Amino acid sequence: MKLLLFHPGAERVTCEQCRRFMVDQSTWKFKTFRAGAAREERLCARPRNLPPPCFECPKGPPRDAADSILTRRNARTLQLYLQVRATGGQCLTRRMRRNWLLMRNLTIIDGLYREWEASRFSSQIAAQTSAVFAQARML
């Protein structure tokens, strides 16, 4: 979940792909080059002497990367969380409200979601403040 919110795109690149090809870790897109008569775009292979940047990856080292992938079950829980949030909890049945595991999971997701919202909000405030100061310098 955290990977999905804070590093969208990282989930699409597998460790195996990152070992084989160059990836721009700011956008999580494969680096490409144009080659051949048709100037077709091809993936840049990772040089043998250049190890993949596992230490910078939000998934962590390859042995831990599988833990960060959103499973179908977790995706369904995320979908339920979004429904709960949109309806103020009215979509939950009585049985669901008494399920401590479900409530714990929704609480964890809520914490991550709020952390993500706060980081987005602070980034927007910083950008707006920067724009105001840049405009003030021009006067």
Q: Which of 24-38, 41-55, 89-103, 122-136 has the lowest mean pLDDT?
A: 122-136
- Regarding pTM above 0.75, the answer is no
pLDDT > 80? residue 1: no
Quick check: helix, strand or coil at residue 121? helix
Q: List Cα–Cα distances, 19 to 8, 43, 121, 125, in angstroms.
A: 19, 12, 34, 37
Mean pLDDT to the nearest integer, 68-82 = 89
- Angle formed by the axes of helices 100-138 and 72-87, nearest 10°: 70
Q: Which of 32-36, 75-79, 93-97 has the lowest mean pLDDT?
A: 32-36
- The C-alpha atoms of residue 77 and residue 74 are separated, in whole angstroms, by 5
Question: Given this model, what pLDDT does residue 139 score?
Answer: 67
